[in-house]
Amino acid sequence: MAKADRTSFDIVVIGAGPAGLGFARALAGRGLSIALIEAQSEAVLADPPEDGRDIALTHSSEQLMRDLGMWDHIPADQIGTIRDAKVLNGTSAFALHFAAQGSGAEYLGRLVPNHLIRRAAFEVVQGQEGLTILTGSEMVAVETDTARGRVGLKDGRVLDAALVVAADSRFSQARRKMGIAAKSLDFGRTVIVCEMTHELPHDDTAYECFHYDQTLAILPMHGLKSSVVVTLPTVHAEAALAMAPEDFAADIARRFEMRLGRMQLVTRRHAYPLVAVLARHFVTTRFALVGDAAVGMHPVTAHGYNLGLSGANLLAREVISARETGRDIGDITGLRAYEAAHRRVVLPLYHGTNALVRLFTDDRPPARLMRDVALRLGNSLPPVKSRILRQLTHIEK
């Protein structure tokens, strides 16, 4: 990995997760010098461990990943296709049904394991001209003024740049150090994710089942395999993680009413606390937030990475436009244009998702009734349904 003999760059990016890598890649070939700082080792970035997350991708994200050259690095037999999606409320036989057929697209979205997205994002930046990746390097300080931004590393080095971009997760230290406030919403719940094989075909259908004590999402992977996402009160998560694999699998199959026949756990179970985060601002002087550092979504509507990628692309376009017209790439006007465009997309999805979670995790009778009404309305009012569909998939019609 290239060592930073130089300490002065056009851009310093903090965090080589999928958002930071996507942003760096979107700037390839523009003659910019970029330092990408990442706390994890090069070995982990090159071959990230399976983390249980399978990412539902919109059409726009798939296209962006193709444009960035990432798609070709994802093995075809690891890409799931979502053609139909059904939302179920408790034991009600009624389902809100979204189908690709009639939507103008062949499928609603794709499903790709997160570690393969991360691996592909790292592969495509290898050898990128002007890019210096500093792995095993932790950012410990960041400050900016109207002239430059400076990023301090744990080993004592200080890098300076015209623009500093933080992509260091929803618990972003860079955001905090820059004094940008963020609202976080702790749902008091934990999500357990894993992959399971099953006897019966899933027919490329994704299910979101809102049971009263927990939410179960089953998403179609390649072949007779599905991604399983269980959301439950944190106090019950430990017990679920401690269950023997076969008991856990039998419990999921039973809760899913044996739609896929018997099921078998084929990966570890991974647990994530459910905390949504929205930064009050996405930019300040010579500084911008991308990815989860800007908005950390509840995973139920599967938008985190999709928003991370589209935001990274928006910011990259602003930087490229400034570069091509001889403007300062760290100028606040361009950064504010990114912020405005990204917030327009983020805010309805962020608040809509949180409202949906509140409605579907409230067990009081009025909420149960509202859920049923909402699902029936969603199904019977075509404009409502096609709007939700567009929001979920980003299929442009």
Ligand X SMILES: Cc1cc2nc3c(=O)[nH]c(=O)nc-3n(C[C@H](O)[C@H](O)[C@H](O)COP(=O)(O)OP(=O)(O)OC[C@H]3O[C@@H](n4cnc5c(N)ncnc54)[C@H](O)[C@@H]3O)c2cc1C
- Residue 177 binds to ligand X (criterion: CB under 6 A): no
Binders of ligand X among residues 112 to 131 (CB under 6 A) are 114
Q: Which residue from 95, 272, 367, 379 is in contact with ligand X, where contact means CB under 6 A?
A: 272
Q: How far is the CB of 104 from ligand X (least distance, A)?
A: 22
Q: Which stretch binds ligand X (CB under 6 A): 83-91, 164-172, 329-337, 359-367?
A: 164-172
Site string for ligand X, 23-62 (x = CB under 6 A): --------------xxxx------------x-xx------
Q: Of 159, 156, 72, 75, nearest to 113 (Cα)?
A: 75
Distance CA 19, CA 55 (A): 13
CB of 48 to ligand X, least distance (A): 9
From 195, 292, 318, 339, residue interacting with ligand X (rule: CB under 6 A): 292
Q: Helices H, strands E: what count in the chain?
A: 11, 20
Q: Residue 275's beta-bridge partner residues? A: 186
Q: In this structure, are residues 373 and 367 in contact, taking their beta carbons and an 8 Å threshold?
A: no
Q: Are 289 and 166 in contact (CB under 8 A)?
A: yes
Other CB atoms within 10 A of residue 259 CB: 16
Are 227 and 195 in contact by the 8 Å Cβ rule? The answer is: yes
How many residues in the shown chain lie near ligand X by CB under 6 A?
A: 33
Q: What is the x/- site pattern for ligand X, positions 219-258, by CB under 6 A?
A: ----------------------------------------
What separation in angstroms does the CA of 125 have from each of 111, 141, 153, 275?
23, 25, 22, 30
- Would you call 202 helix, strand, or coil by DSSP? coil
Question: Which residue, judged by CB position, is nearest to ligand X in the bound state?
Answer: 17
Q: Find the shortest distance in angstroms from Cβ 317 to ligand X.
A: 18
CB of 366 to ligand X, least distance (A): 29
Cα–Cα distance between 367 and 359 in angstroms, integer? Answer: 6
Site string for ligand X, 358-397 (x = CB under 6 A): ----------------------------------------
User: What phi and psi, each to the nearest 5 degrees, are found at residue 82?
Assistant: -100, 110
Q: How far is the CB of 328 from ligand X (least distance, A)?
A: 26
Angle, helices 332-360 vs 382-393, to 10°: value is: 120
Using CB under 6 A, list all residues that contact ligand X.
Answer: 14-20, 37-40, 53, 55-56, 114, 138-139, 167-169, 173, 191, 193, 272, 291-292, 299, 302-306, 308
